[in-house]
Every structure is written in C-alpha cells, then in structure tokens.
Amino acid sequence: MSSALLSDLRARGLIFQIAGEDTLADWLDTEPRTLYCGFDPTADSLHIGSLVPVLMLRRFQLAGHRPLALVGGATGLIGDPSFKASERNLNTPDVVANWVNKLQHQVSQFIDFEGENSAKVVNNLDWTTGMDVLTFLRDVGKHFSINNMIQKESVKQRIEREGSGISFTEFTYMILQSYDFSELYLHHDCGLQIGGSDQWGNITGGIDLTRRLHGGQVFGLTMPLVEKADGTKFGKTETGTIWLDAHKTSPYSFYQFWLNTSDKDVYKFLRYFTFLSVEKIAEIEEADAQREGRPEGQQILADEVTQLVHGAEGLAAAQRITQALFVGEAYTLGPDDLEQLALDGLPTTPLKSSEIAPTLTQLLSDVGMVTSGKQVKDALKNRAVFINGVPVEGAPPIDTALCFRSENALHGKYWIVRLGKKKYHLFTAE
C-alpha cells in the first residue's frame, strides 16, 4: 500500500529527489515506518512555505506511518545557511524558546496523536544541549569531511560568491541536523527524513552520519520548492508573508490569498496543498477547461486549504466575508451581518469622533489599508475609493469628518471603505 503512497506523491509532483530510491518502496511496504521532518523556529509562526512538508507528514501518517515533527530548538539558534544569500542574525535563546513552543503547537494540529501510528513532536535541543564541545568534535565532527561539505550546492554560492561569506557557526548547521537524524534513528527507529529540496544536502549528511555511527541504512526524500508560474516568490503579498497563525494572517486573508491563485498554478497547488485525489483534481481541471469564463479551481483550493489550516469555523467566517464583499452588495447587509463580519475577521476599526485622524489619507494609512498616503491619493485620482459603495470625490486633503457622517452610515454607524478592487475595511461609530 505504501508504494501506492509513493506513486500518489509522484503523481502530485511532490517528489523532488529520493535517497535510496531502489529500496524505499519496499521498506515502506513491509511495515509501518517512522519518518521525520524538521521545522526551525525562525519566527513565532509557520508560514505557508512550511505547509507542503507539514502536509507531507500527514500524508505519510494517513498511509499508516508514524510521523515525528522535529522542532529545531537547537538548530534555530544557529541558522540554516542552505541557499541563503547571506549570514543571518542570531536570535536570543529565550526568543527561540518561545517560538519553539508556538511551532510545536502549530505543527500538532496537522498530525494525529492518537492511535497506533501516533505522531510525536521532538525538539533537537533535548539531545544537543548537554553535549560538550569536545564530544561533539570527536564523536560527530570527525565523520565529516570539510572537502565534502564545501562541495554541497547549498553553501556553494555563499563560499564562491564575491561579497558574501559564511561563518563557522552556520557552516556547522549541517552537522547538527545530521546528528538529529542519527539520534532519531537510534532512539525512535526513524528511517526517513523528508524536507524541502533545499534540505537535500543536510539530509544526505544525516544519512551518511547514521551509517557511520550506527551502521543504519536510512532514507531521504525531498519535495520541490513551490514556484509560481510568473516567477515571483510564493507566499508573499503586499501585506507580507502568509502565516498559518490566525492572529498573524486572518482566515479571511488566508482564504483570499488562495482565491487569487493564478490559473497557471491552481491545479498544481491543488495537488500540493490538498488531499483531493489526483483523479479528482484532473476532473476539476478538465471541467474548468470546458467552461467558459471563471474556473472553479481557485474556489476549491481556497476552501480546502482554509479548512485544513483554520478548520470549518475559520473557513465559514472567511466565506461569509468573501460572500458579503465580493458577491453581494455589502452595503445592503443588516446590522447583525455587519457585526458578524467584524467578528469573522474583516479588518475593523472603531472611530472615536474625538481622536479621529483629520484626513482620509492619514486615517487609511493608520489602519493599515495602505502603506503611504500616496496610494490613497493615487486611488482617489482613479476614483477607486468608496465609502459604502459611493466613490469619494476630490483630491487630498479630504476631511474625514465629512466622509464619516452618520447620515451616510449604514444603520447609523457602519462605513465600509473599499480601496481598489480588493481592499476592504469596516469602520464603526463608537
């Protein structure tokens, strides 16, 4: 059945490279196996870049294997140099420890901790923190050849490129991660490490070390980097990174992100980010190709992924807002509906008449709709600013008191400001 897993992954395009390809399918087929994937705390939340590996763990678990999610309490203190253009700043131990906590919790929601192949979260700080330098150098470092390490593609650009460089600290990262694999092999019988394609060098390092230290034969599997057809970076928008934490990226914004996926990417993303079968996705693609006009792929993608990350409630909230703003006429909603939208996560700001910003440009940049007043000016020129559906006329400065009068409010206290086609903000009278 697991070779079925591999062929499904292959059909999804989720396999980039495999170490031990000849025997991996057999190994997976004979009995439930343990595998791991590492997540380093580089922020207080994972972002959608980590979603592919996280979901990969789940795919293996659904196929009957046991996933370990490793949180890099130790490696997060060092910083992975793989394919990074420059050295990064070190974060303080207490900051990293705090992030570790958050990641543990976050990763946990995607894998199942019940049943026979229950998942486990481990932290590599547990086995590195007590190790002294000499032991590390003699027992671990001795197995690594510098000649070999500097050959790795992942650090080559740092070593060869003029104007950059790599510290010993970051260079050592690979050894730490390799040691993780050998430890998990020893104590958890973990025989497979998965990761993004940038992790190939680190993974093969771990495979070599495990063989040298324990004579164990272990496997590695990497997933392709998520790339967009237009070549721009996946997972970033004007607002910045798309986080998995609902407090950092609301389910609504998250949902909108997927809904805005390009046609060229949407079916690939369905294969990457959902558990819909490859056949089902092919059907959707086929149906979209037949249909005139707007395809359904984005809708399905947004529904599926939002459900996975934010649950049924988060999805429902995101859909309610989307429905109200983009499908219906938002300014025909009743007061209860508007309250609900605010609760659902539509960006909302109460207006206190005493401390309201005097100009519209200032107000909109204060609430984060735009990053500078210039954008508002630009939008005004294009008649792209609307309050409750009515375009705002004129050029800045525009008096906010005139814009937000109770006469033009919905139900006496609501104003929906729209800037451009997609940005909405709800203001309420206090």
Q: Which residues bind RNA (CB under 7 A)?
A: 87, 159, 162-167, 229-233, 236-238, 256, 259-264, 293-295, 298, 322, 325-327, 359, 361-362, 365, 370-375, 377-379, 381-382, 384, 395-397, 419-423
State which residue, 169 or 277, has the beta carbon closest to RNA: 169
DSSP 307-324: HHHHHHHHHHHHHHHHII
Q: Quick one: how far is CA 417 from the chain centroid?
A: 29
- Please tell me the distance from the alpha carbon of residue 221 to that of residue 197, in angstroms, as a whole number: 9
Asked if 58 and 69 count as a contact pair (C-beta separation under 8 A), the reply is no
State which residue, 4 or 229, has the beta carbon closest to RNA: 229
Angle between helices 263-273 and 297-322 (to 10 degrees): 90
State which residue, 337 or 378, has the beta carbon closest to RNA: 378
State which residue, 229 or 390, has the beta carbon closest to RNA: 229
- Please tell me the distance from the alpha carbon of residue 232 to that of residue 338, in angstroms, as a whole number: 36
State which residue, 117 or 365, has the beta carbon closest to RNA: 365
How many Cβ atoms from other residues are within 10 Å of residue 109's Cβ?
12
Give me 368's structure tokens.
Answer: 């984060």
Q: Please state the closest distance from residue 80 (CB atom) to RNA, in A.
A: 17
Q: Give me the residues paired with residue 418 across strands.
A: 386, 424
State which residue, 10 or 233, has the beta carbon closest to RNA: 233
Q: Please state the closest distance from residue 403 (CB atom) to RNA, in A.
A: 14
Q: Could you give the angle at the alpha carbon of 191 between the alpha carbons of 185 and 192, nearest 5°?
A: 125
Q: Please state the closest distance from residue 361 (CB atom) to RNA, in A.
A: 4
How many Cβ atoms from other residues are within 10 Å of residue 203's Cβ?
28
State which residue, 8 or 87, has the beta carbon closest to RNA: 87
Q: Please state the closest distance from residue 225 (CB atom) to RNA, in A.
A: 16
Q: Please state the closest distance from residue 275 (CB atom) to RNA, in A.
A: 22
State which residue, 135 or 169, has the beta carbon closest to RNA: 169
Asked if 425 and 348 count as a contact pair (C-beta separation under 8 A), the reply is yes
Q: Could you give the angle at the alpha carbon of 254 between the alpha carbons of 252 and 257, nearest 5°?
A: 110
Q: Give me the residues paired with residue 247 across strands.
A: none
- Please tell me the distance from the alpha carbon of residue 255 to that of residue 314, in angstroms, as a whole number: 9
Q: Please state the closest distance from residue 150 (CB atom) to RNA, in A.
A: 11
Q: Give me the residues paired with residue 349 across strands.
A: 427
